[in-house]
Amino acid sequence: MPDSGTIPVFLHYDQAELDRQYDQRAWAPNAVEIIRRYTTDSESVRARLGEPEVFAYGTSPAETLDLYRTGLSNAPVQAFVHGGAWRTLGKRDSAFAAETFVSAGAHFVALDFALLPQVTLPEMVAQVRRAIAWLYRNARSFGGDPQRIYLSGHSSGAHLAANVAVTDWAEVSDISEPIVKGALCASGIYDLRPVRLSARSRYVIINDVEEDALSPIRHLDRLQCPLIVAIGEGETDEFKRQAREFAAASGSRFVELEGLNHFEVIATLADHRSSLARAVLKQMSLAAGES
């Protein structure tokens, strides 16, 4: 609670506390170590699986994706949207979970897209939508099933993934049917109002119309696939509130991972025995493979 005499900026938070609530590194002393592990674990996965096939899904240099194939044909596709506060990380840091899905019989795709401030947040969302539309149109060319495309996102990537999940594809493309058959949104933000009021507004620069358009909790009437909404026990109260409210409003499965902070949650996807990996594989109607 704010001290006596302070002015609440959002809910009961004064400015300093709201800024702290949206700074996950302040709550995770091992943040740098875990983020570095995303990269090193991804390098280890490539050493075992081999380099991925790289495809361009758009016209800009950032619009590429890495495909890690499974050995099966007509297989489901799991596309991963990395986090990094909308301004760091990339597809090469995002292969750490590839073996979980490849071993279970799914293609794994790590997405790249332009980051803030090189592009606006609306363009970033548009790029991720283009990537998923590309997978739908081209899945058969690499042995994928266009009717079984799944999506996972972490942190700011969960925000992007949630926006994809509530996309009306007929409005933004020539595709008339829902593309995504299920999604994991882990440790994400689903309403941008408090983000705009926090210190993140220095680089997350959007107007009122964009705030509304890019706050997926406000567009659940367009949601046409099941969601898993995950959060770590060690995350901030605001991130927990956002996750709980988004899960409740969407009727989604809510998973709180005991003892884990914001950065540790998504790393558990690399272990096919973890509760989060098992939940996502179940959503895809797959059994965990040995990796």
Whether the link from the prior residue into 117 is cis, omega within 30° of 0, is: yes
The answer to whether residues 154 and 188 touch, using CB atoms and an 8 Å cutoff, is yes
The answer to whether residues 138 and 159 touch, using CB atoms and an 8 Å cutoff, is no
pLDDT at 290: 59
What value does the mean pLDDT take over residues 187-209?
98
| Strand order across the beta sheet in which 64-68 lies | 53-56, 64-68, 107-111, 75-81, 144-154, 180-186, 227-232, 253-257
What value does the mean pLDDT take over residues 185-203?
98
Summary mean pLDDT of the chain: 96
pLDDT at 4: 44
What value does the mean pLDDT take over residues 174-201?
97
Query: pLDDT tier at 236 (50, 70, 90 boundaries)?
Result: very high
What value does the mean pLDDT take over residues 125-145?
98
CA–CA dist 134, 194 (Å, integer): 33
- Is residue 109's pLDDT more than 90? yes
Query: pLDDT tier at 5 (50, 70, 90 boundaries)?
Result: low
What value does the mean pLDDT take over residues 157-167?
98
Query: pLDDT tier at 1 (50, 70, 90 boundaries)?
Result: very low
Q: How many other C-beta atoms can be found within 10 angstroms of the C-beta atom of residue 214? A: 22
Q: Angle of helix 156-165 relative to helix 121-138, nearest 10 degrees? A: 60
Domains, the chain:
15-283 (3.40.50.1820)
Alpha carbons within 13 A on the beta-carbon side of 126: 12
- Is residue 264's pLDDT more than 60? yes
Tell me which DSSP letter residue 44 carries: H
